[in-house]
Structure 1
């Protein structure tokens, strides 16, 4: 627990206030001329001007991958909690849309904009927050904390809004600043866990993101029906984000190694008075400009996402899947409200089909990892290409059109309501397995740019996913539910070959 508290933002502020005496670092190893072995353990390189500080060998207790299991568990849970709460924040607003339209006289498109602008904004946010969290002088934890805190304040402001324009503006900025967990979460988990453990951590991280949009409408409907007010969902969201903000402040440790080493070098300078101690990143960035660094990395992230053929190919695939997901979710009120005449709470419970599918998907994916992938990867002479990660995504790609066609042609009054719900269960393995395959594939193919690659992927899929829900009412009126859902099914059929093509086409990879 000492590392957990000391490396949290709370611990860092306490040590700053009490000159490092509140939660001292027992593992500091200050090089000494009298102890050559200690010097060699602590110093990466010497020069006439500087002594460069690094981790004390591969077993340094302060290195995130060497943390105790309890510390890793708290950090992993924190990242998952943030991911769940933020993805729930997009969909939790949905039950408020009819009330917003009634209260402020908004059209269907204007009501849906509260969802669309939020999703578009959290696609833009990672392009800034990801490079910000990569800066050694800042690190991951402040980005998480201040993102959560500001997001909480924007939710409170939205709940107090007196007109539609204020709601839309604050929803957009809330999505922008609150996107830290999807900007940094995957990178944090890869920094905490050893390579053999990362796939399992990412598996649970991803399912927390899948459960957010599913449980969000259920929770939102319950509070709206209870208090009969459009702002009830925003107050619920404010409470959730307040709790996550407190958790981050006290129990989410810093995971960025360059930040940990930077602060170690600063402690050495403070304790010895010797200003020659530097972290490696300090040596490289002494003459750099903060705003130039952020701008350069943001541009590099965008260029990497658009110009690398592998990443661009993957981004297009996930962009289409995400767009289909958010557009398809807009069909639910029409099917279960107007066709089956279910109450608002019963309509929200219809999402449980996807939740069941998600639980089955996690079991299948972890079983594949444990019984197939890990035994192959653990062999001493094994060479496991990142393309092997795409196998679950190939199964997932087939499940998505199955879901959409079942949903399309069972959503009618003459067919029992359980039939389309059974169809929805197929979307979870399609969505979950596809994103699992892609996240792990990108992470292994581009390990030095993992946060940047994830940020670019989020931008592509969220921009598309946020815009498509606006087309849902017109699509249903023009095509009816059968052909509207079938149209999405045909698009998903065209996407089925993409993970198979990606596996077979030979691209150059960065290792």
Structure 2
């Protein structure tokens, strides 16, 4: 069973150099830490006879997924089909994150028509971010039980439906509720989509393609918020503001249809369960069967109840997922996913500091969706549609760092690893994943100070935009180090570590837009941005301290991999 997809997303994203190692080594929380296989189940076939009543017990076979099995997606799909699935995942995740920021350029007309203030209007962004961060703790364990595709379809359907109140909202309350609920259900896709890419590409034979696919996926949650204001800016400038949300709904509806038509189940444990049902001669489970399995405790009515075939020589086929469902309830899995992330935050200072650092930077990004229209509108007199275009350099910096850093990170990782081996250490330490953060931690304050002290009427508008590009590059590298370190350093609890990171990021990012406007209005643009730059400078030592002392700190942690 691969790592629960929470550890890849909610991702939501990282550069390829981090994913290439972390996805190969991470372990599922449930499978490693909590499964208690019944004593009658073995890893291979065996005959159980001479019981007390003289009856023969069935031959128990623990089924695994083999390369030549028709259920094995990574070996049976064509390369073109794999890239189609990867493209669908990246495009859908891009749309969801674009929707999160598209609200920014519509706040002006929303305030006038729905009669609300600036802070209340800013909740349209904040509640969407909060919804994105709160959903994965629920949807990740659901995907472990029922697979990725059912979560995709159910979540995206509700995501599309709850955008309707946003488009038709007669008041601000209806709009805000619709924004939160649509984001909450869209997080089902964000929670499991990263794992789809690692499912379909074979890590040994298709490693380079996995790197490229994960690099493309990793930029989606950052590049999406960049194009959101670009789209909404042109729409609000040239037509009614509600069309910004209608376009988002139509866009997501088209992608939902594509997901239904072309997506496939890729989660290996669920595919293994399908193989077991094929060997038992059972039919595939449909939606009705899933609902019955959730609400019925009667084994006779539960379609997942064991089936024994071949009366002369009874044979019982099973798999790890089926045994997990016997020993751990879905409710317990959900509770564990909700509780353990807070244990990591409260008992492991490395997790707390890394999460706060990445959360602070993401908060600045979403604060910029409020600040950029002020800066480029008031200083450079940009029209609304061009205010949206002011985010493009931020995206260019992100794209450059995502794809341009791949060879550099490989070189630096190999060099640092060779030094560790020369010292007599085993090599491959999780702290190597912090190398991108060591570079990004300098680019972030450089970009902030550059942007803050060049936004003057006497200086061309492209100059502060270039500064935002450096900041965008720094964010991607910091997040690459964050995700890589959490997945590789907390392998058994990787899903919980990533859930903790998603919670902190969302909590900080949803708060920042609520006061960013007031901070930049009351302070000068230059000093408000400088304050953010000074705070980011304070956080520069984090990756270096953890790289030097990380092994000792992990040894003291109750969760870290040692």
Say whether residues 1:252 and 2:236 are aligned partners.
no
Q: Which of 147, 154, 176 matches 2:155?
A: 147
1:303 paired residue number: 343
Say whether residues 1:414 and 2:458 are aligned partners.
yes
SS at match of 1:51: strand
1:134 paired residue number: 144
Alignment deviations for residues 204-243 of structure 1 (CA, whole Å, 9 cap, x no partner): 211122110100100111222232x221111111111112
Contact 1:361 1:432 in 2 (8 A): yes
Say whether residues 1:99 and 2:129 are aligned partners.
no
* TM-score w.r.t. length of structure 1: 0.84
Q: Which of 51, 59, 62 matches 2:60?
A: 51
- Alignment: residue pair count: 465
Contact 1:149 1:241 in 2 (8 A): no
Say whether residues 1:231 and 2:242 are aligned partners.
yes
Q: Greater relative contact order: 1 or 2 (C-alpha under 8 angstroms, separation 6 or more)?
A: 2
* TM-score w.r.t. length of structure 2: 0.77
Q: Which of 313, 316, 326 matches 2:366?
A: 326
My pick for the range that moved more, 252-261 or 146-155, is: 252-261
Once residues 468 and 369 of structure 2 are traced to their aligned partners in structure 1, the CA distance between those partners, rounded to angstroms, is 10
Say whether residues 1:177 and 2:221 are aligned partners.
no
SS at match of 1:410: coil
Once residues 375 and 406 of structure 1 are traced to their aligned partners in structure 2, the CA distance between those partners, rounded to angstroms, is 32
Once residues 377 and 199 of structure 1 are traced to their aligned partners in structure 2, the CA distance between those partners, rounded to angstroms, is 20
Contact 1:187 1:451 in 2 (8 A): no
2:447 paired residue number: 403
SS at match of 2:453: helix
1:23 paired residue number: none
Instruction: Kindly state the Cα deviation for residue 375 of structure 1 after the two structures are TM-superposed.
Output: 9.4
1:15 paired residue number: none
Q: Which of 210, 214, 219 matches 2:222?
A: 210
Contact 1:396 1:432 in 2 (8 A): yes
2:123 paired residue number: 113
Cα pair distance change 1:328/1:307, threshold 3 Å: same
2:319 paired residue number: 279
Q: Which of 64, 83, 94 matches 1:73?
A: 83
Say whether residues 1:87 and 2:97 are aligned partners.
yes
My pick for the range that moved more, 389-398 or 70-79, is: 70-79
1:481-496 matches, within 5 Å, as: 481-496=525-540
Instruction: Kindly state the Cα deviation for residue 72 of structure 1 after the two structures are TM-superposed.
Output: 2.7
Alignment deviations for residues 394-434 of structure 1 (CA, whole Å, 9 cap, x no partner): 11111111111111111121222111111111011111111
Instruction: Kindly state the Cα deviation for residue 98 of structure 1 after the two structures are TM-superposed.
Output: 0.7
Cα pair distance change 1:288/1:389, threshold 3 Å: closer
Cα pair distance change 1:358/1:56, threshold 3 Å: closer
1:27 paired residue number: none
Contact 2:62 2:319 in 1 (8 A): yes
Alignment deviations for residues 12-54 of structure 1 (CA, whole Å, 9 cap, x no partner): xxxxxxxxxxxxxxxxxxxxxxxxxxxxxx9734464463342
Once residues 365 and 61 of structure 1 are traced to their aligned partners in structure 2, the CA distance between those partners, rounded to angstroms, is 37
Once residues 174 and 536 of structure 2 are traced to their aligned partners in structure 1, the CA distance between those partners, rounded to angstroms, is 36
RMSD (Å) for aligned C-alpha atoms: 2.5
My pick for the range that moved more, 322-331 or 268-277, is: 268-277
2:252 paired residue number: 241
Instruction: Kindly state the Cα deviation for residue 101 of structure 1 after the two structures are TM-superposed.
Output: 0.2
Cα pair distance change 1:144/1:374, threshold 3 Å: farther
Once residues 454 and 74 of structure 1 are traced to their aligned partners in structure 2, the CA distance between those partners, rounded to angstroms, is 27
2:561 paired residue number: 510
Which runs of no fewer than 5 residues in structure 1 stay unpaired? Answer: 1-41
Contact 1:397 1:434 in 2 (8 A): yes
Instruction: Kindly state the Cα deviation for residue 166 of structure 1 after the two structures are TM-superposed.
Output: 0.3
Say whether residues 1:191 and 2:202 are aligned partners.
no
Contact 2:65 2:271 in 1 (8 A): no
Alignment deviations for residues 234-273 of structure 1 (CA, whole Å, 9 cap, x no partner): 1111111112212222222222211111122122223596
1:348 paired residue number: 388
Instruction: Kindly state the Cα deviation for residue 386 of structure 1 after the two structures are TM-superposed.
Output: 2.2
Contact 1:182 1:458 in 2 (8 A): no
1:255-274 matches, within 5 Å, as: 255-270=266-281, 274=309
Instruction: Kindly state the Cα deviation for residue 57 of structure 1 after the two structures are TM-superposed.
Output: 4.2
My pick for the range that moved more, 449-458 or 203-212, is: 449-458
Which runs of no fewer than 5 residues in structure 2 stay unpaired? Answer: 1-41, 49-56, 283-306, 310-314
Instruction: Kindly state the Cα deviation for residue 480 of structure 1 after the two structures are TM-superposed.
Output: 1.5
Once residues 364 and 487 of structure 1 are traced to their aligned partners in structure 2, the CA distance between those partners, rounded to angstroms, is 29
1:157 paired residue number: 165
Cα pair distance change 1:298/1:125, threshold 3 Å: same
Q: Which of 233, 237, 244 matches 1:221?
A: 233
2:32 paired residue number: none
Say whether residues 1:358 and 2:398 are aligned partners.
yes
SS at match of 1:413: coil
2:436 paired residue number: 392
Once residues 256 and 128 of structure 1 are traced to their aligned partners in structure 2, the CA distance between those partners, rounded to angstroms, is 17
SS at match of 1:276: strand
